Amino acid sequence: MIKITNLEKFYRTEEVETIALNKLSMHVDTGEFVAIMGPSGCGKSTLLNILGMLDDPDEGSYVFNSIEVAHFNERKRADLRKHNIGFVFQSFNLIDELTVFENVELPLIYTGVTTAERVKRVEEVLDKMQIMHRRNHYPQQLSGGQQQRVAIARAVVNKPKLILADEPTGNLDSSNGNDVMELLTDLNEQGTTIIMVTHSEHDARYSHRIIRLLDGQTVMENIMV
C-alpha cells in the first residue's frame, strides 16, 4: 500500500538546517499494523505527516496505492486524503463548538455524503465505539477516553484504507489507553491498515511490526510474533 524511497525532509531556520528525514525508505503492506518508535526529534511525526499527505517531502518518492504523490499539490493531496486516510491524534483535536455527532459527521460532509446516509453511518460508528449515548454532548463534557473514542470514530467513519495514529494513548490513563489500543486492533483485524507513532513499548506490542527511527533513518525493524 505504501512505498517510500529515499525520502528527505529539511527544516530551515535563518541559521541552521535540520534534517528531519534522511534518505528514508520503507514500505507498508495493506492490512498491516505498524508502530513507529524512536526518541524525540527522530523524525517520527514528520514521517507521519508526510504519509498523511499533510506535508510534502523535499526529495524522494512516496507511492500510495500505486500513485506517486510526492509532488502533488495541496488540492490533490487533500482529495486523496479525505477518501483514504483517517487521523487519530494524541490531543484528540475535536472541534469544541461541535457536538460528538457533528464532529464525527464532519469528514462525511467534506466528501459529499447525503444527509440520510450521514446519519446512518455516524450512528453506526458511534454505536460501535459505544459512545452513542453521548452523541449530543460537546467535547469538553467528555472524559479523555471518551474524547479519543470520538476521534477514532471520526477517523473511521469514512471507511478509510489507512489510519494514522500519532501517540493515540499519550494523553490517557492506562485503562483508557488499553481500550483505545483494543479498538485499533479490532479495526486492523477488519482490514484497515494502521500506522501508529508511539513512545510506549506496551502499545507497540499491539502491532505486527515496529520500525525504529533515529536521526531520520531506520535503525531497526522488529517483527512481532
Partner 1 sequence: MFKNYLKITWRNLLKNKSFTAINIVGLAVGMASAALILFWVQNEVSYDQFHAKKDRLYRMYNRSKIEGEIWAWGTTPKPMMATLKQDYPQVEEASRATQASFLFTLDSKHLTIPGVFTDPDFLTMFSLPLIQGNPKTALNDMKSLVLTEKTAIKLFGNTNVLGKTVKIDSVDYFTVTGVMKDLPNNTRFDFEYLMTWKYWEKINGGVDKNWGNNSVTTYIALKPGVTEEYFNKQVKNITRSHSEVKDIDVFVHPITKWRLYSKFENGQIVGGRITTIKLFSIIAAFILLIACINFMNLSTARSEKRAKEVGIRKVVGAGKGSLIAQFMGESVMIALLAGIVALAIVQISLPAFNILTEKQLFIPFASPVFWLIVVTFILFTGVVSGSYPALYLSSFAPVKVLKGTFKAANATFSPRKILVVTQFTFAIVLIISTIIVREQLDYAQNRDTGYKKDNLAYTFIQGNIDKNYQLIRNELVTSGAATAVTKTSAPMTEGWSDSWGFDWQGKDPNAKIDFNMFNVDGDFSKTMNLKIIEGRDIDIKTYPSDSSAIMINQASLKLMKFKNPIGQTVMNNGQKLTIVGVVKDFILQSPYEPVKQMIIQGPKSWFNVIHYKLNEKNTTAENLKLAEAVFKKYNSEYPFEYHFVDEEYNKKFADEQRVGTLASLFAGLTIFISCLGLFGLATYMAQNRIKEIGVRKVLGASVFGVTSMLSKDFLKLVAIAFIFATPIAWYSMEHWLQTYAYRVNISVWVFAIAAFVTTLLSIVTVSFQAVKAALANPVKSLRSE
Torsion angles phi and psi, residue 52, rounded to 5? -85, 5
Our finding on whether 209 is near partner 1 (CB under 8 A) is no
Residue window 128-147: x/- pattern of binding to partner 1, with contact defined by CB under 8 A: --------------------
Our finding on whether 94 is near partner 1 (CB under 8 A) is yes
Using the 8-state DSSP alphabet, how is residue 13 labeled? -
Which residues touch 195 (CB under 8 Å, ≥6 apart)? 2, 28, 34, 36, 48, 51, 162, 163, 164, 165
Our finding on whether 82 is near partner 1 (CB under 8 A) is yes
Our finding on whether 8 is near partner 1 (CB under 8 A) is no
Residues 15-54 within binding reach of partner 1 (CB under 8 A): 45, 49, 52, 54
Using CB under 8 A, which of the segments 63-71, 109-117, 175-183, 184-192 binds partner 1? 109-117
**Exposure on the CB side of residue 63, measured as CA atoms within 13 A:** 12
Our finding on whether 87 is near partner 1 (CB under 8 A) is yes
The end-to-end CA distance of the chain, in Å, is: 21
Torsion angles phi and psi, residue 122, rounded to 5? -65, -45
Q: Are 36 and 211 in contact (CB under 8 A)?
A: yes
Our finding on whether 154 is near partner 1 (CB under 8 A) is yes
The DSSP element (H or E) to which 85 belongs, if any, is strand 85-89
List 29, 74, 124, 201, residue binding partner 1 (CB under 8 A): 74
Number of residues that bind partner 1 (CB under 8 A): 29
Binding site for partner 1 (CB under 8 A): 45, 49, 52, 54-55, 74-75, 78-79, 81-83, 87, 89, 91, 93-95, 97-98, 102, 105-107, 109-111, 154, 158
